[in-house]
Amino acid sequence: MEIVPSLVEDLRAQLAADRVRTEPIELSLYGHDASIVEGGHAAVVCFPLSTDEVRACVRVARAHGRPFTARGAGTGLAGGAVPLGDPVVIVTTKMNRILSIDADERVAWVEPGVINLDLTRALGQYGLHFAPDPSSQQACSIGGNVANNSGGPHCLAYGVTSAHVLAVEVVLPDGEVAVLGGLDPEPGGYDLRGVFVGSEGTMGIATRIAVRLTPNPPAVRTLLVDFLSIDDAAACVSAIIAGGLVPAALEMVTGPMIGAIEDFVHAGYPVDAAAVLLVEVDGLPSFVDDAVARVRDIAQTNGARTVRVAADENERQLLWKGRKSAFGAVARLAPDYYLHDTVVPRTRLVEVLRKVEEIARSHDLMVLNVFHAGDGNLHPLLAFDAREPGVLERVHEAGDQIVVASVEAGGVLSGEHGIGIEKRDLMPRLFSVDDLDAQARLRDAFDPDGAANPGKVLPKGSRCGELQRIPEGVWV
Amino acid sequence: MSDVLDALAAEIGDAGAVVAVGGRTQYEVGGAVDPAAREVRAPHGIVQHVPAEMTVRVRAGTTVADLDAELAAAGQCVALPSWTGATIGGVLAVGHSGLRRLGWGPVRDAVLEVRYVSAEGRVVKGGGPTVKNVSGYDVPRLFVGSLGTLGVIGEVVLRTRPISAFERWFAGEGVDPFVLLRRTYRPTSVLWDGTTTWMLLDGHPDDVDAQGRASGLSEIDPSTLPALPPHRWSLPPSELTNLPGDGHGAFVAEVGVGVVHRDAPQPRREVAEPIVELQRRIKDAFDPAGRFAPGRMP
């Protein structure tokens, strides 16, 4: 669809002209996010600075019969910010102020464009942090974390984003502004805050967020445990969880990924191991000492070859650097990768990992695994060279089969990346017609006209008589 | 597995006013239900508990106490208050937390999947069985605190947690509970009535002992904890400092949480118009004919 000049003029009347962009290169840039989803197109890209400006963007879009798509840092991996239906794209990156930090109350109000790690850095002087720590935390925004209900390694003990968001000021799809939730513990009414978190921009745009702050633990220890068999490593994960110990984080790296990380970071990961576990325990000193001893015992009982406890903070940071650099390390193996995200019951990790290997092999693809083992959250990474003809089709087919295998093992479609466009059409694998209808009703209650980020989360046909516009040629 | 839920759906049908009844421990919350509403009860029993998953699938009519008794064999419990006779479905529908919320988190964070009977008499699922899941909208959280006005909860998957191996209550006068909260690492509960401060610590005995001694409080027998006045206020935790002498009488406050137990009900709070409108649309979307718990407002 061509750009209607009056739409741009009306937006420029509300925002400074240089914050309403229509250059082809920008429209193309904002047609993508960090996913490999193609087919998005922005009609115009806006950079509001305030709640009022976000509201103005929504109202102008609506007056012109346009949908709108909110976007944070664009690090999403499921196509949630890929604009469908030629929407007005509303980018929140310039709304990046930390508005207040109340260290006593352990609450901060932030704008949606604040970068996750920047918030935690600003909190350091108070001995506090923001617990959700997605691997993209150096780049992703809190608004995006809210939209996707993001996770991260430390969500095992601390919970995902929803557990750390107390209230959200939202510009609703009709242009009204409301605060969902509250700083008090039982605000009353339906939990609109809980519904909004993870709604992937389909219920409005967060403009201010009250996040709960977590005290830094007095003691932290990190262990690197290596195994000659993935089965033993997975059994160790189950034994740790069943033993009543909830570590702060429990991550697994398998096979060639270990070598890729070691070549990249030189953190001393044992390159000949079949699997390594990164286990972190935190809390008060006696608990932590005891937990380290218990993890060591459980690991040795389950066939661990070596157990290395980081001696100091530098060594601990180095071990984590290895884990957090995994995706950068993949570049040494292949120029492109497709990162997947599913969850399986923790007791079925081995079975599903084997199935994933099999699927990759049958599609002639390399698979690497680095994932949140403690909560069963798999991240199979398919490495490939996009220049190879026909490879993308194989990557997508293998990806779909991995999701299906996870669901068949009693798992779910996504643990922390979201549904977006990527998994939208897989939703019926997990939900019945009645289940999807209930979700569609919930969405419609917020957005009766389907103006907010159309074409995401719910597949076509989720409700009766729907007219969801999904452009030809969109694929994932 | 779903036979009993199908039976519940058949009983609820697709017409007529219905109200779900649990243990009636908090039945009055949200207002009186039209007495013409037909009472239904969710089935009970534990469907599946795999200790290494730290989750349990349980029918909503099961009492929290029965569930905890079963889970205790594996050293686990659920982070739900276990008032005598309270059922899982009732506790979730009301959404009120117990005295350990500071350490355990709110009730809404304990629920992973919910299966309910809709106004059309269909069994509907929201969420999923794994500890981490962002597949689709968060229907389970919508149902927590909905007071049975959107559907009848039949079965849920809950997150479990390890039973604390060691816990102790401490109490004393003249200790500022707000300073105490800042100084103590993750207490499970801090209570205050304007004079006495109580604190619950759990964890490794040496840590509990060290933090307890540093607090200036003395260890007490939990049977001496204060009785809780009947009404429940919800305040931002920073406002609790204003409670003494606010003209509303005695209180027991959950410091760091903001729940305050008092003799008089909390004055009705103003709700912004867009919120009222969203609440109304959600109710209409799930229960267009107003079948569920007519008269009650969450």
What pLDDT sits at residue A3? 60
Q: Of all residues in chain A, what percent are helix, strand and coil, respectively (each to 5)? A: 40, 20, 40
CA-based nearest residue to A381, from A407, A353, A409:
A353
**Token reading at A472:** 């030809």
CB contact under 8 A, A104 and B178: yes
Q: Which residues from B are below 8 Å from A285, CB to CB? A: 207
Question: Percent of chain B beyond pLDDT 90?
Answer: 96
Least confident window among A320-329, A458-467, B84-93 = A458-467
Residues 408-447 of chain A with CB under 8 A from chain B are 410-419, 423, 427, 430-432, 434-436, 438-439, 441-446
CA distance B221 to chain A (A): 24
Rg (CA), chain A: 23
Interface membership of B206 toward A (CB under 8 Å): yes
Average pLDDT for B142-149: 98
Output the average pLDDT for chain A: 93
Dihedral Cα A192, A195, A200, A205, nearest 10 deg: 0
Contact B207 A286 (CB under 8 A): yes
Pairwise CB contact (< 8 Å): B274 & A177: yes
pLDDT > 70: what percent of chain B? 100
Q: How many CB atoms lie within 10 A of CB A24?
A: 7
Query: Would you state the pLDDT for residue A472?
Result: 38
pTM: 0.96
* Position B5 pLDDT exceeds 60: yes
B144–A238 CB contact, under 8 Å:
no
Show Cβ contacts of residue A189 under 8 Å, excluding neighbours closer than 6 positions. Answer: B145, B271, B275, B279, B298
Is-contact A409 A352, C-beta < 8 A? yes
Q: So what's the pLDDT on residue A264? A: 92
For B66, other C-beta atoms within 10 Å of its C-beta total 17
A89 or A466, higher pLDDT: A89
Work out the number of other CB atoms within 10 angstroms of the CB of residue B173: 9
What is the distance in angstroms between the Cα of B125 and the nearest Cα belonging to chain A?
Answer: 5
What is the number of other CB atoms lying within 10 angstroms of the CB of residue A50?
14
Instruction: Give me the pLDDT at residue B265, please.
Output: 94
Which residues from chain B sit within 8 angstroms of residue A180, using beta carbons?
Answer: 275
Whether A434 and B236 lie within 8 Å, measured CB to CB: no
Average pLDDT over residues B144-172: 97
pLDDT at A388 over 70: yes
* Residue B13 pLDDT exceeds 60: yes
Measured in degrees and rounded to the nearest 5, phi and psi for residue A215 equal: -65, 140
d(CA A297, CA A378): 25
pLDDT tens digit sequence for A117-145: 999 999 999 999 999 999 899 999 999 99
CA distance B166 to chain A (A): 11
Q: Which of residues 141-200 of A touch B (CB under 8 A)?
A: 148-149, 151, 155, 159-160, 162-163, 172, 176-180, 182-192, 194-195, 197-199
d(CA B255, CA B225): 15
Mean pLDDT score of chain B: 96
End-to-end CA distance of chain B: 31
Q: Tell which residue, A375, A382, A453, has the closest CA to residue A415.
A: A375
Question: Min CA distance, A185 vs chain B (Å)?
Answer: 6
The dihedral of CA A427, A433, A434, A438: what is its sign? positive
Give B-chain residues touching A345 at CB under 8 angstroms. 50, 53, 129-130
User: Residue B34 has which token pair?
Assistant: 């039209």
CB A363 within 8 Å of CB A393: no
Confidence of residue A103 (pLDDT cuts 50, 70, 90): very high
Average pLDDT of B208-214? 98
A286–chain B nearest CA distance, Å? 6
In this predicted model, what pLDDT tens digit does every residue of A391-411 receive, in sequence order? Answer: 999 999 999 999 999 999 999
Rounded to whole angstroms, the Cα distance separating A222 from A313 reads 9
d(CA A204, CA A214) in angstroms, rounded, equals: 27
Cβ proximity of B152 and B20 under 8 Å: yes
Closest CA of chain B from A433, distance in Å: 9
Round to whole Å and give the CA distance between A81 and A28: 13
Interval A330-352 mean pLDDT: 91
Do the Cβ atoms of B126 and A244 come within 8 Å?
Answer: no
Per-residue pLDDT, averaged over B12-28, amounts to: 95
What is the percent of chain A where pLDDT is above 90? Answer: 88
Measured CA to CA, the distance from residue A367 to residue B236 in angstroms comes to 48
The closest alpha carbon to B131, from A390, A374, A408, belongs to A374
Backbone angles phi, psi at A360, to 5 degrees: -65, -45
Q: Residue A471's pLDDT is what?
A: 37
CA distances from A461 to A87, A276, A431, A455 (A): 21, 44, 13, 11
CB contact under 8 A, B185 and A218: yes
A346 and B53: CB-CB below 8 Å? yes
Is B237 within 8 Å of A105 when comparing Cβ atoms?
yes
Phi, psi of B62 (to 5 degrees): -70, 140
Closest partner residue to B278 (CB to CB) among A149, A192, A423 is A192
Distance between CA atoms of residues B104 and A49, nearest Å: 37
- Identify each DSSP E strand in A172-274 by its residue range: 177-181, 205-212, 214-215, 219-227, 249-254
Strand-by-strand arrangement of the A107-110 sheet: A98-102, A107-110, A205-212, A165-171, A177-181
Cα nearest neighbour of A171 on chain B: B274
Say whether B103 sits in a helix, a strand or coil.
Answer: helix
List A211's β-bridge partners, or say none.
A108, A165
- How far is Cα B206 from Cα B189, in angstroms, rounded to an integer? 18
Cβ(B252)–Cβ(B240) under 8 Å?
Answer: no
- A window 313-372, beta carbon within 8 A of B: 343-347, 372
Looking at the partner chain, which of A215, A410, A431 has a beta carbon nearest the beta carbon of B136?
A: A431
Q: Residue A368 pLDDT more than 90?
A: yes
Does residue A420 carry a pLDDT above 70?
A: yes
Mutation test of the interface with chain B: which of A442, A462, A463, A464, choosing the one with the most B Cβ atoms within 10 A? A442
Residue range A455-474: mean pLDDT, rounded = 62
Give the confidence band of A101 by pLDDT, cuts at 50, 70, 90: very high
> Which pLDDT value is given to residue B165?
87
Q: How far is B297 from chain A (nearest CA, A)?
A: 8
* pLDDT at A476 (0 to 100): 30
A414·B134 Cβ contact <8 A: yes
Between CA B108 and CA B110, with CA B109 as vertex, the angle to 5 degrees is 90
